[in-house]
Amino acid sequence: MVQIPTVKARDEFSDLVNRVAYGKERVVLTRRGKPLAAVVPLEDVELLERLEDRIDLDEARAALAEARDDGTVSWEKIKAEIGL
């Protein structure tokens, strides 16, 4: 991955966007030499979102299985326990 200071990225924004969008480069923006953010192709973002969705689905399925196996606590009982 290429690293570019934010000042240079601002000055060359159009070129940077083209490099990422069409050249499929991943660019890390830095400030004072430290990584700050990244500019990545849209395909990378879409992949991350699909992965997050899959993780969420797996966690929801696990929670449902746990509720089925261990049972649940009623909302009335929870409210009573916390004094509502």
Structural domain boundaries of the chain?
2-40, 44-71
Q: Residue 79 half-sphere exposure, CB side, CA atoms within 13 Å? A: 4
Quote the pLDDT of residue 79: 95
* Structural contact between residues 41 and 64, judged by C-beta atoms closer than 8 angstroms: no
Q: What is the mean pLDDT of residues 56-71?
A: 96
The reported pTM is 0.70
Question: In the structure encoding, which two tokens stand for residue 67, read together?
Answer: 């509720």
Confidence of residue 24 (pLDDT cuts 50, 70, 90): very high
CATH for 2-40 is: 3.40.1620.10
Q: What is the mean pLDDT of residues 10-16?
A: 97
Confidence of residue 43 (pLDDT cuts 50, 70, 90): very high
**CA of residue 39 relative to chain centroid, distance:** 13
Question: In the structure encoding, which two tokens stand for residue 29, read together?
Answer: 């923006």
